[in-house]
Amino acid sequence: MPPLDKFFHKKIALVNLASGTTAVEPWPRSLANEAERCIPGGSAAAAVLSGIYGDALVLATGPLTGTMSPGSSLLVASCPVSGGAYAHVPILLRHGTALKTTGVDFAVVSGKASSPSILILGSKGPRIEPAGGLSGLEVPGMRKFFRARLPETRHSLLLCGPASGWGSCGSAALENGTSLDRGHLAPWMSNHNLLAIVLTGGGSLPFAGGRRPLFDKLGPKSGIGGFLDVLEHVEGGAQAKGTAEKILGRPAACHSCPWPCMAYLKPGPSTNGLLCADHAGFAALCGACPDSLPSALEACLRLGIDPVSGASAFRGVQPDAFGKAIENLFAGVPPAKGPEFSFPLLSQKEAPERALAGMVLGICPILVQRCPDIPVGQWAAGPDSDPEAASFGDMLKASLQLAAKARTDAQQEDMEIRHG
Ligand code: SF4
Can you tell me which atom of ligand 1 is nearest the CA of 370? Answer: 1
**Is the Cβ atom of 344 under 6 angstroms away from ligand 1?**
no
Q: Is the residue at 278 inside a domain?
A: yes
**Is the Cβ atom of 367 under 6 angstroms away from ligand 1?**
yes
Percent of all residues in the chain with a pLDDT value above 70, rounded to a whole number: 88
Can you tell me which atom of ligand 1 is nearest the CA of 93? Answer: 8
The amino acid present at 106, given as its one-letter code, is F
Q: Is the residue at 41 inside a domain?
A: no
Q: Is the residue at 139 inside a domain?
A: no
Pick the more confident residue, 357 or 387.
357
Q: Give whole-number Cα distances, 255 to 46, 68, 259, 290, in Å.
A: 23, 11, 11, 31
Q: Is the residue at 409 inside a domain?
A: no
Return the pLDDT at 16: 97
Model confidence at 352, in pLDDT bands (50, 70, 90)? confident
Return the pLDDT at 378: 81
Q: Is the residue at 416 inside a domain?
A: no
What does the pLDDT look like over 135-184, one tens digit per residue?
989 999 999 999 998 887 788 999 999 888 777 678 888 877 788 888 88
**CA-proximal residue: ligand 1, atom 1 (nearest):** 367
Check if the beta carbon of residue 89 is closer than 8 Å to that of residue 180.
yes
Q: Is the residue at 373 inside a domain?
A: no
Return the pLDDT at 404: 66
Q: Is the residue at 355 inside a domain?
A: no
Distance, in Å, from the CA atom of 402 to the CA atom of 187, rounded to the nearest integer, reads 26
Can you tell me which atom of ligand 1 is nearest the CA of 256? Answer: 5
**Is the Cβ atom of 260 under 6 angstroms away from ligand 1?**
yes
Structural domain total, the chain: 1
Q: State the average pLDDT over residues 50-73.
A: 92
Inter-axis angle of helices 293-303 and 279-288, to 10 degrees? 130
Range of the domain at 316: 215-331
Q: Is the residue at 9 inside a domain?
A: no
**Is the Cβ atom of 137 under 6 angstroms away from ligand 1?**
no
Q: Give whole-number Cα distances, 253 to 48, 189, 387, in Å.
A: 31, 27, 24
* pLDDT at 406 > cutoff 50: no
Tell me if the pTM is above 0.85. yes
Model confidence at 415, in pLDDT bands (50, 70, 90)? very low
What does the pLDDT look like over 308-336, one tens digit per residue?
888 888 899 998 888 888 887 777 766 66
